[in-house]
Amino acid sequence: MNTYIYKGDWQIVDSEDIYSNPWISLTHHSVVTPGGTNGIYGEVIFKNIAIGIIPLDDQGYTWRVGQFRFPINSYSWEIPEGGGLLKDDPLSSAQRELKEEVGYTTEVWELFLEMDLSNSVINKRAHVYFTEGLTFFGT
């Protein structure tokens, strides 16, 4: 007798780990869909959460950072952002990223937004914080 695993209304018949590195893993699932048909599902599992920061100075200005993004083959302007280990407190990761990205520290943090990004194929969770009362730390 087969014992199946379920994710919501999806029945997982078989799974195969395809790829893994320190940041992601990729799993291929053979499934029975909620409609009762056989299908496949690819799942990218992130090993970190996304962290974004919107730092506001005393005049209400903020920072953006730019860098080339390999997956989209393009330069991208973004809020200061990075990642944090799943086991770490997201706020601690945000504090570290603010120092790394723009060279500032602050004691004032407010969780602004939590998101699940591209949640049809990945488990990537994001936390975005507002900060005020910035002190230059150095880059």
Same domain, 106 and 82: yes
Count of domains for the chain: 2
Picking from 58, 59, 50, the residue whose alpha carbon sits closest to that of residue 79 is 50
pLDDT in tens, 39-96: 999 999 999 999 999 999 999 999 999 999 999 999 999 999 999 999 999 999 999 9
Residue 1 has pLDDT above 70, yes or no: no
Domain co-membership, 111 together with 56: yes
- Give the structural domain span for 67: 47-136
Supply the CATH number for residue 93's domain. Answer: 3.90.79.10
Under a CB-based contact definition with an 8 Å cutoff, are residues 64 and 78 in contact?
yes
pLDDT value at residue 61: 93
- 53 and 119 share one domain: yes
128 & 68 share domain: yes
Per-chain mean pLDDT for the chain? 94
Q: Under a CB-based contact definition with an 8 Å cutoff, are residues 20 and 47 in contact?
A: no
